[in-house]
Amino acid sequence: MNPRLSRVWIGPAAVLITLCSFSHAIAAPGAADGAAAAAQVPPLCTDKAVLKRVTKEYNGVEEMGENIKLKDLTDVKETRLGVPPAGVNQYATKTTYGVSSRSCQAIGALSNDKTDPLYWRMDYLVEATGHSINYDQCSLRHSMLDTQCRRHRDGQ
């Protein structure tokens, strides 16, 4: 396991938390990725469950700061679909590995009448007898090390 990450179990899903970005979550298969499972690709950027998750994670980080709420996501776009970045399979095994990744971006409308660009990547992971979707998210307001979210914008 990457030394920067720790695993916390919350209900049926494992949540990986980084020190300086949104949480990376490996979720149990659900509505957002059910249809994509057969094709082994992450759900669409515009999937309602995905947008709900992006909003929830953004607002969760904001609770620790100024408590500004993300009201809406507009101009949602897919920026990349293809093989996952090398880091996704850094600790892959023969039974658990990333197959594909989808990168997305949107403009977040905030409760203080400002906007914040958001970027996220979803990785389809094969896991022995099933699969999961890994979510990795970045916002210009919240990213401390990658202040322009370059890693997400460049599909890494």
- Residues 89-101 have pLDDT tens digits of 999 999 999 999 9
Report the domain count for the chain: 1
Residue at 124 is within a domain:
yes
Look at residue 40 in the predicted model and tell me its pLDDT. Answer: 93
Residue 65 lies inside a defined structural domain of this protein? yes
* pLDDT surpassing 60 at residue 48: yes
Higher pLDDT, 120 or 11: 120
- Residue 12 domain flag: yes
Give the burial string for 86-107 (b: 16+ CB within 10 Å, else e): eebbeeeeeeeebbbbbbbbbe
For residue 1, being part of any structural domain is answered with no
Q: What does the angle CA 69 – CA 73 – CA 75 come to, to the nearest 5 degrees?
A: 150
Q: What range defines the domain where residue 59 resides? A: 6-153
Residue 132 confidence (pLDDT): 94
pTM more than 0.75: no
Query: Is 116 a domain residue?
Result: yes
Residue 80 lies in a domain: yes
In a domain, 82, yes or no: yes
H or E element, residue 152:
helix 150-153
Residue 136 inside a domain? The answer is: yes
